[in-house]
Structure 1
Amino acid sequence: MDLDHAREVAVEAAEAAGALLLEGARGAVGVRAKGTAGDVVTDLDLASEKLLLERILTAYPSHSVIAEESGLVGAAGAEWTWLVDPLDGTNNVAIGLPAYAVGVALCRDGRPVLGVVRDPVSARTWSAIRGRGAVASPGGRLSPSYAPSPHGPLLAWIQGYGVTRGDATARAMKEALDLHARRVLQLWAPLLAWAMLARGDIDGIVSYRAEAVDLPAGALLAREAGIEIRALDGGPFEECFDAPAESRSFVAAHPRALPGLFDLLP
């Protein structure tokens, strides 16, 4: 498998989808409810996903794809599986907030080997190949430094759509972070949070039961930039898309910042 070529395919597809989203978000956006937990889907999600599926499956017809709206396309359990988040930040777009991204990951036996994140608003793309680092375009290699603040860390909070308002664990974690962190961002677009962490714009991410489709691309990008990710108990964390929701909770930060973040949690 030529991962350099796969990255070219993924970057071109994500940037084309991003251009579609950017143009579509300037006009009226068709929005409808998705599920019973308050989530929504837009016409832009569907159009972006169609474009991404066509690009990826034309280049790799024997691969499987798991897409946010279409689900599994191709055979389950394939060696090579693409994950597609056509519009990460749908709820933002629905209210006119220009904070969203496109995410694409390629996984081998469930484990991400390639991740691409495109921010159409800033016209920036970030990508990573496992073991070969992370890069920004425009820009260069990503390698955030450790720069602690005396006022506490700047963090992002990510939670899955299945987490209810009454979840005691999520509530306790968020209350602790709000009390001790300088600021806790809830972007409604996890891929943007991952890109910010990989660039060094924020100090860490704390997540509870993250969604499976967007997690591998963002986590791989951050890891390849030098970020460390640990499960909530401090043990190892693997960003596999087929892991159960209860194991998709973690803390991510520069290795030197990680102990301090664990100290903040209940």
Structure 2
Amino acid sequence: MRTRTPPAALPPDLDLDLDAARALAVDAAEAAGDLLRAGVDEPVEARPKGEGADVVTDLDTAAEDVILRRILGAYPGHRVIAEEAGLVEGAAGGAAGDAPVWLVDPLDGTNNVAIGMSVYAVGIALCVDSAPLLGVVHDPVSGRTWSALRGGGATGPDGAPLRIGEGLRPGREDNPVLAWTQGHQVGRADPVAFPLRSMLEMRCGRLLQPWAPLVGWAMLARGDIDGIVGYRPELVDLPAGALLAAEAGAEFRRLDGGPYELGIDRSPAELSFVAARPAMLDRLLETTRSAEHLPGDGPGVRLAF
């Protein structure tokens, strides 16, 4: 059963206008999107990043700089966890443990851009006490932006409320359209990822793997797809997309069906999830529960939306 989370309560000593913060995040995401949209028209050189299959380009760092300047210029006492720069402190320090934290993914879908596939997005989230309070997802290809405030609902590009809808689209009852995401640290020999992904693919009409989770989150929030399953997902793009989908009406569970909490202080194993429109949730959980060797994420994991 899904319960509507009340509007986010800020700590009494935190002076923060969430509407103003959302407006700034939308502006920053769209400015980065303008840079990306212009940059992908030129040849993009990708460099290996880390030990896995991830890559980085000059577009990632340039777009990230655009966002960081806007956020830290407006909120010098805040901290930022950025995809490329890592933890960045504002000019005022922001070292206090309860300081708000922004998560920035300036180019979600770098691998796509590197091979000339125009499937990518920009994501920005603001978290307090490890939980997301606002999220922004921008699609530079279409120029559309979606945003959400915890307890305040989700909105689309025209400012109208965004709702996923309770039921399934005609023809989707037995052939839902789902998306899959996994973290870069998940290897080919992982004992859960391959069997779980294979089971999902056999039990749906189509399983998308967009290599850009934020694109999938926007699709779920709009009702274009019916659910997303994530296995040890990357943290930096998760809060913005998950908050958007949750405020649009998606329900969340752990892979084993237990309650789910998204917190930026959690490990990748604790962040594995099932997110779906309400009519699809039980069916998805039948599949994820039946997969062998599901990770022991531990008790008390719930989505605090």
Q: Same fold (TM over 0.5)?
A: yes
Distance (Å, rounded) in 2 between the aligned partners of 1:3 and 1:64? 16
Larger Rg: 2
Aligned to 1:214: 237
Q: In the TM superposition, what is the alpha-carbon distance from 1:151 to its structure 2 partner?
A: 3.6
Q: Which runs of 5+ in 2 are unaligned?
A: 1-15, 90-94, 292-305
Root-mean-square deviation (CA, aligned residues, Å) is 1.1
Distance (Å, rounded) in 2 between the aligned partners of 1:241 and 1:194? 18
Aligned to 1:134: 154
Q: What TM-score, normalized by structure 2, do the two folds share? A: 0.85
Matches within 5 A, 1:186-225: 186-225=209-248
Give the % identical residues: 58
Q: In the TM superposition, what is the alpha-carbon distance from 1:256 to its structure 2 partner?
A: 2.4
Aligned to 2:136: 116
Aligned to 2:48: 33
Post-superposition, which runs of at least 4 consecutive aligned residues in structure 1 deviate over 2 A? 75-79
Distance (Å, rounded) in 2 between the aligned partners of 1:16 and 1:39? 24
Contact kept in structure 2, 1:156 and 1:193, CA below 8 Å: yes
Contact kept in structure 2, 1:212 and 1:242, CA below 8 Å: no
Distance (Å, rounded) in 2 between the aligned partners of 1:164 and 1:133? 36
Matches within 5 A, 1:248-259: 248-259=271-282
Contact kept in structure 2, 1:63 and 1:78, CA below 8 Å: no
Q: In the TM superposition, what is the alpha-carbon distance from 1:109 to its structure 2 partner?
A: 1.2
Distance (Å, rounded) in 1 between the aligned partners of 2:62 and 2:98? 25
Q: Which runs of 5+ in 1 are unaligned?
A: none
Distance (Å, rounded) in 1 between the aligned partners of 2:96 and 2:108? 24
Is 1:93 aligned to 2:113, yes or no? Answer: yes
Aligned to 2:198: 175
Aligned to 2:182: 159
Aligned to 1:80: 100
Distance (Å, rounded) in 2 between the aligned partners of 1:54 and 1:16? 11
Q: What TM-score, normalized by structure 1, do the two folds share? A: 0.97
Is 1:147 aligned to 2:168, yes or no? Answer: yes
SS in 1 for 2:242: helix
Contact kept in structure 1, 2:77 and 2:99, CA below 8 Å: no
Contact kept in structure 1, 2:37 and 2:140, CA below 8 Å: yes
SS in 2 for 1:114: strand
